[in-house]
Amino acid sequence: MQTVLEHISLNMTFYRSMLIEENRIYQFQAKMENIIKDKLMEGWKPAQENAPLAISKELLIEYLVSAFMGIIIWSIKNDKPLSKEEISSQFSKIVAYGHLRAAGIAVEE
């Protein structure tokens, strides 16, 4: 994730025009989402290889792609309010622990 954020940071004008501006290219966002999805699928290595998932793998991947794209667009729209390191770290915590625990909200199971 940090590599993608670094590339975006170095090419902010390009990504702003392709993803945010009035004349944005919708196919560009779809292509970017597909690349992110492919990378997630490439790196898919659950701890227990053959263990069934409690939720749909496809739904999980779509959730992660949408969340990541949302963060990218939010960051561009708001002129990078957090560094790429902070975004990467916080996104990783959200993915690993869930949004409530990552935010420090106690969750009873």
How many C-beta atoms lie closer than 10 Å to residue 66's C-beta? Answer: 12
What is the pLDDT at residue 49? 67
Pick out the chain residues at pLDDT < 70: 46-49
Structure pTM?
0.84
Helix axes 2-10, 12-19, angle to 10 degrees: 100
Asked whether the beta carbons of 71 and 87 are under 8 A apart, the reply is yes
What is the pLDDT at residue 63? 95
What is the pLDDT at residue 108? 84
What is the pLDDT at residue 47? 63
What is the pLDDT at residue 107? 85
